[in-house]
Chains A and B, each alone.
Chain A
Amino acid sequence: MLLKHLHLVHFKNHSGADVSLGPQVNCFLGDNGSGKTNVLDAVHYLCFCKSYFNPIDGQNIAHGEPFMLVQGDFERLEVEERVSCGVKRGAKKQFKRNDKPYTRLADHIGRFPAVMIAPDDAALIQEGSEMRRKWMDAVISQYDRAYLDALIDVNKSLVQRNALLRYFAENRTFDASLLAPWDARIAPKAAVIAKARKAFVDDFLPGFLSTYAEISGGAEEVGLSLTTHVNDDPEAIAAKMHQAQDEDRRLRRTTVGIHKDDVVFTLGTHALKRFGSQGQQKSFVVALRLAQLAFIEQATGVKPILLLDDIFDKIDEKRVEALMKRVTNGTFGQVFITDTHLGRIPDMFASTGADVRVFEVHQGEVKVQTPSKA
């Protein structure tokens, strides 16, 4: 899959940009704050219907402007497709594919897969289980539509069920027959999710381990596993929810379910979070993202776009160089990469024959530096 052209209007600090992109490496050079990362974020918008950095659409509109537009021309499975996202202040965003607005944004997810590696990725290791569930959900949603539907449904049902538990507590009342419809709604969908998560972790692990070994030089043993209190049997889930009723009443929220799952990252026999060095943690996250790219391609048959923001902050130049060999050997498809050093990335590719396009970004303006092969 390729993004051939990107058109930005009032997106973040880009008042207007028209960028024709190359099929392999697209390199955006500029100082911090120049807007180079925003170009990657625009691609993220087109693939995931939202910003990687700021989930509030209105806050991605350039300061003082009434609207923004991000538009991309893709080539996917040999078909040209146009995706656009327009946001007006105070209005709901308009997300369109081939000029037809989506009624449900979930219908778009997974059609144009991408993987982003950004500096704030360490949060995936450091923060609570929600981050890791979101990561897992995002990957699975790229290839499993039923999963995303079930997830949206369970999350909404949980909001309702928890509101009911709060109502019971606040009014010192209880009625099990009011909980029952929500349990009946949640259990079968939670089972779909539990099954997909287990399959994902099992299938993902081997590719991840080999990617980590490659990136880190293979010195230490790492691991990744799913912790959960539920299995894929709807009746068992319903029974567990029923058993937890007293606890739920006491804590005023649903205490059992797929919303309690976590993915545990390990280094040897220890938790990566506590025992991994900063370097090990960074390598871990990069390996996770790269394995994710290969996994999504395998599952969907579409090679995702790789977005690398400030990759040199994560792994050293030698490893980046080794990584970039994957562009020429065809492991990676289209790559978008940002850097503050002029020339560093083009030099890496100088002898490879890869198609490298270099863009200089300055105060939201994107200028082509070399429109041909490096």
Chain B
Amino acid sequence: MYVLPRWSHPAILYLRPVQLPSRLIEAAVDQMATLPGIGRRTALRLVLHMLARDEDRVRDFAEAMVAMRSGVKPCGTCHNPTEEETCNLCANPHRDDATVCVVEDVRDLLALESIGEYRGLYHVLGGVISPMDGVGPADLTVDALVSRAAEGGIKEIILALPASMEGDTTAFYLAKRLVESECMLTTLARGVSVGEALQYADEATLSSSLLNRLPYKG
């Protein structure tokens, strides 16, 4: 087992940058720190963990990353990641291809799939419009969605974007772009969560629930 040397104790690194003992370690830390949510301290911890592993296991790790990156590409239709030209959702003849649900990213798609109730198809946008983060429609799959809708055959487009300012403005922009397609546009209902006590719901949620109240079905 490789023991963490005294000098590399995270608290010491936190106070002042320390020269790492190997340029290879340094390069690995640099790479690790490019990942989202990983600072240099965590990167060093992960790299030292790799150093303590069997070389074969580290190779498996690296190869899995490279194989994933080169073998997976966005589905030609919905941009869901796939190893084929068309993803298994789009290729499934039992799914309803007249309904398309627009989501921000794959995680949202997986969340909706996990319910097992939605039978339509998807469109993975790849983000939401946010000028301050440098993200505009051209960075997303907006054009692909517009041409997909223009081809005909789609009756309903569900805008299942995040309930944030950027999600809302992206939905607004998509709605304008999709006017000519004549698809019915719908959006997810927003309101009090299942199992949530009214008194604990925030005001925006409560007022949205009240505004979009439903006929009672018993």
Chain A residues engaging chain B, CB cutoff 8 angstroms? 103-104, 107, 145, 149, 153, 156-157, 159-161, 163-164, 167, 177-178, 180-182, 184-185
Given A149-B204, A178-B137, A181-B173, A161-B165 contact (CB < 8 Å): no
A181 to B129, Cβ gap below 8 A? yes
Q: Which residues on the A side are within 8 Å of B173 (C-beta)?
A: 177-178, 180-181
Q: Which residues on the A side are within 8 Å of B131 (C-beta)?
A: 160-161, 163-164, 167, 178
> How far does the alpha carbon of A107 sit from the alpha carbon of B199 in the complex, in Å?
13
Between-chain CB contacts (< 8 Å), 30 pairs: A104-B202, A107-B203, A145-B203, A149-B203, A153-B165, A157-B165, A157-B169, A159-B132, A160-B131, A160-B132, A160-B165, A160-B166, A160-B169, A161-B131, A163-B132, A164-B131, A167-B136, A177-B173, A177-B176, A177-B177, A178-B131, A178-B137, A178-B173, A180-B172, A180-B173, A181-B170, A181-B176, A184-B169, A185-B169, A185-B172
Q: Which residues on the B side are within 8 Å of A157 (C-beta)?
A: 165, 169
> How far does the alpha carbon of A167 sit from the alpha carbon of B130 in the complex, in Å?
11
Q: How many residues of B contact A (CB 8 A)?
A: 19
> How far does the alpha carbon of A182 sit from the alpha carbon of B170 in the complex, in Å?
10
> How far does the alpha carbon of A159 sit from the alpha carbon of B177 in the complex, in Å?
24
Q: Does B105 contact A (CB under 8 A)?
A: no
A185 to B165, Cβ gap below 8 A? yes
> How far does the alpha carbon of A248 sit from the alpha carbon of B169 in the complex, in Å?
20
* A104: nearest chain-B partner, CB-CB: B202
Q: Which of B152-171 contact A (CB under 8 A)?
A: 165-166, 168-170
Q: Which residues on the B side are within 8 Å of A103 (C-beta)?
A: 202
Q: Does B134 contact A (CB under 8 A)?
A: yes
Contacts A145-B203, A185-B172 aside, 8 further interface pairs with beta carbons under 8 A come to A149-B204, A160-B130, A167-B136, A177-B177, A178-B137, A178-B173, A180-B176, A185-B168
B176 to A156, Cβ gap below 8 A? no
Q: Which residues on the A side are within 8 Å of B170 (C-beta)?
A: 181
Contact of B169 among A149, A167, A181 (CB under 8 A): A181
B202 to A107, Cβ gap below 8 A? yes
Q: Which residues on the A side are within 8 Å of B132 (C-beta)?
A: 159-160, 163
> How far does the alpha carbon of A320 sit from the alpha carbon of B4 in the complex, in Å?
64
* B200: nearest chain-A partner, CB-CB: A100
Question: How near does chain B come to A304, taking the closest CB pair, in angstroms?
Answer: 22
> How far does the alpha carbon of A180 sit from the alpha carbon of B166 in the complex, in Å?
13
- Across the A-B interface, give the 4 residue pairs with the lowest CB-CB distance, nearest first: A163-B131, A164-B131, A181-B169, A163-B132
Question: How near does chain B come to A242, taking the closest CB pair, in angstroms?
Answer: 15
* A100: nearest chain-B partner, CB-CB: B200
> How far does the alpha carbon of A163 sit from the alpha carbon of B132 in the complex, in Å?
5
> How far does the alpha carbon of A180 sit from the alpha carbon of B173 in the complex, in Å?
8
B158-194: CB near A (< 8 Å → 1, else 0) gives 0000000110111011001100000000000000000
> How far does the alpha carbon of A14 sit from the alpha carbon of B136 in the complex, in Å?
49
Q: Which residues on the A side are within 8 Å of B129 (C-beta)?
A: 178, 181
A182 to B169, Cβ gap below 8 A? yes
Question: How near does chain B come to A65, taking the closest CB pair, in angstroms?
Answer: 15
A181 to B172, Cβ gap below 8 A? yes
Question: How near does chain A come to B80, taking the closest CB pair, in angstroms?
Answer: 26
Q: Which residues on the B side are within 8 Å of A159 (C-beta)?
A: 132
* A171: nearest chain-B partner, CB-CB: B136
Question: How near does chain B come to A21, taking the closest CB pair, in angstroms?
Answer: 30
Q: Which residues on the B side are within 8 Å of A156 (C-beta)?
A: 165
B198-214: CB near A (< 8 Å → 1, else 0) gives 00001110000000000
Interface centre among A104, A159, A182 (most CB of B within 10 A): A182
* B203: nearest chain-A partner, CB-CB: A145
Q: Which of B116-147 contact A (CB under 8 A)?
A: 129-132, 134, 136-137
> How far does the alpha carbon of A331 sit from the alpha carbon of B115 in the complex, in Å?
59
> How far does the alpha carbon of A107 sit from the alpha carbon of B137 in the complex, in Å?
34
Q: Which residues on the A side are within 8 Å of B136 (C-beta)?
A: 167, 178
* B137: nearest chain-A partner, CB-CB: A178
Given A160-B165, A178-B136, A178-B137, A184-B203 contact (CB < 8 Å): no
B134 to A167, Cβ gap below 8 A? yes
> How far does the alpha carbon of A167 sit from the alpha carbon of B135 in the complex, in Å?
10
Q: Which residues on the A side are within 8 Å of B166 (C-beta)?
A: 160
> How far does the alpha carbon of A263 sit from the alpha carbon of B165 in the complex, in Å?
29
Interface centre among B131, B132, B137 (most CB of A within 10 A): B131
Q: Which of B91-115 contact A (CB under 8 A)?
A: none
Q: Which residues on the A side are within 8 Å of B203 (C-beta)?
A: 107, 145, 149
* A103: nearest chain-B partner, CB-CB: B202
Q: Which residues on the B side are within 8 Å of A160 (C-beta)?
A: 130-132, 165-166, 169
* B172: nearest chain-A partner, CB-CB: A181
* B134: nearest chain-A partner, CB-CB: A167
Q: Which residues on the B side are within 8 Å of A163 (C-beta)?
A: 131-132
> How far does the alpha carbon of A153 sit from the alpha carbon of B172 in the complex, in Å?
16
* B171: nearest chain-A partner, CB-CB: A181
Q: Which residues on the B side are within 8 Å of A153 (C-beta)?
A: 165
* B132: nearest chain-A partner, CB-CB: A163
B35-74: CB near A (< 8 Å → 1, else 0) gives 0000000000000000000000000000000000000000
